[in-house]
Structure 1
Amino acid sequence: MTKLNLLGLLENHALFRNISPIDLGELQKEVVKIELEKGFMLFRKGDIAEATYIVVYGLLKLSIPSSQGNDKVLELIRAGQSFGEAMMFLDEPYPFYAEALENTLLLKIPRAALLQLLDRSPLLSRQMMAGLSYRLLGFIRNVERYSLQNATQRVIDYLLQTSAIQCTNEVRLELKKHLLASLLNLSPETLSRVLHQLMDEDLIRVSGSIIHIGSAEALKTYQHGGMPLH
């Protein structure tokens, strides 16, 4: 594995910007690198929340397990994002599991080390509160989306957002279609019908896990004016 500049990664992460070099240097000593192969679990539901994690590269999904096998996907965590902060303050086990969808490298920041830094740095406390607030806002927007948008609008919203993240009109689906349906709060059958509808309208082309968007503007127009599919 290529040698990492841990201090540089911490300095450039939104959570630790403007933190003193001395404090970051001390924190760096406690950071642990974790490599996960695709399909491996970082933690399971019920495990003790003992750290905050930063994704250096790769992709993780956070999901609630189901005995029927239809796990509920809560969120995708991409490179540069952090997670696990909120659970540290609750002293509760994880209510979800984290699984690598690609080969993934993470930085594990132990709970005790981060809490000590929070005691010394009011600025870090404010930055962490801002991050948690942003995450909460994201969940509220998801609830709003599921409540107010029809199936077609949700799928188009996902395609446009993922296209923007990947900086291409050749969108690579990050999840298998049944997991993507779970993320969008749809049944797999409904997701398939929506994709076929968009193909019939010549708005997208599907080739395996790649979806080609002909025109983002045309897709946006259809999102707001196309016939809804429930």
Structure 2
Amino acid sequence: MIDFLNKVSLFANLNEQQLNAIAGLCYKKSFKAGTVLFQEKDPGSVFYIVFSGSVKIYTASGGGEEKILSLIRSGDSFGELSLIDGKPRSASAQTLEDSVLIALNAGSFLELLRSNFDICLIIMRELCDRLRDTNQQVFELTFLDARTRVIKSLIKLANKNGIRQGSAIHIRMKLNYDEISQMAGVQKPDLMRVIRDFQDRQILTFQDQDMKLDLAKLRG
């Protein structure tokens, strides 16, 4: 646990004694793929860090249409907002694959913030980054056409979750096409038109769950 926590950006500046204290507050829990961890408007009681696997954070309209806000992978944290302001969850969270999460309950999390200014500062920066991302998403949905939104979403997905080899980025896909269209804020037919065009031009290639995005051909 200590070795892992030491690699989590949230705890990167802490000493061994502080990490040991945090490890004593945490517990690991396994979840099957597709498990809803919490839903929008639920009361917040747990803060999570992904140990292995991945999680999607999303909102849903009254008609059930989803919008994916972010993808959370190993070393990333989520669920802190409602613990800080005491309000219901602002979004839902669901595992995309079999996952192991590290959890802290609300009382332990808030005590951690009270006793560690470094962690408070890092969380403030993380929340600022998320606000900037939200502002960027609003801009893209307002001013960019569907094709451009798809391209930007694929590049963002590749940069955050892929492994780069030269001009190509390899990604193990954990999202289906419906989820990618939600993430890009486009209708599925618009997404599929861009995907087919990219496949024809060999910008995108697929093998099982692996996707390769060739940036050189994208720029060409």
Structure 2 length as normaliser, TM-score?
A: 0.86
Between Structure 1 and Structure 2, whose CA radius of gyration is higher? Answer: 1
Where do 1:65-144 residues align within 5 Å?
65-144=60-139
Larger relative strand fraction: 2
Residues 149 and 186 in structure 2, CA contact (< 8 A), matched pair in contact too: no
Q: Which runs of 5+ in 1 are unaligned?
A: 1-5, 222-230
In structure 1, the partner of 2:194 is 194
Question: Secondary structure of 2:130's match?
Answer: helix
Letter in 1 for 2:18: D
On the 8 A contact 1:159/1:171 being kept in 2, the answer is no
- Report what 1:226 is aligned to: none
* Structure 2 CA distance for aligned equivalents of residues 25 and 211 of structure 1: 39
The AA in structure 1 aligned to 2:137 is N
- Could you tell me which runs of 5 or more consecutive residues in structure 2 were left unpaired when the two chains were aligned: none
Distance in 2, Cα, partners of 1:163 & 1:55 = 19
Shift of residue 33, structure 1, vs aligned partner: 0.8
TM-score by structure 1 length? 0.82
Q: Count residues with an aligned counterpart.
A: 215
Question: Residue by residue, what CA displacement relative to the aligned partner does 1:2-50 show, whole Å, maximum 9, x if unpaired?
Answer: xxxx222222211122224333322222212111111112122332211
Identity of aligned residues (%): 24
The residue aligned with 1:216 is 215
Of 151, 160, 167, the match for 2:163: 167
**8 Å Cα contact 1:27-1:114 kept in structure 2:** no
Q: C-alpha separation between the residues in 2 aligned to 1:166 and 1:200?
A: 22
1:129 is displaced (CA, Å) by: 1.0
Q: Structure 2 vs 1, CA of residues 94 and 199 (structure 1 numbering), >3 Å: closer, same or farther? A: same
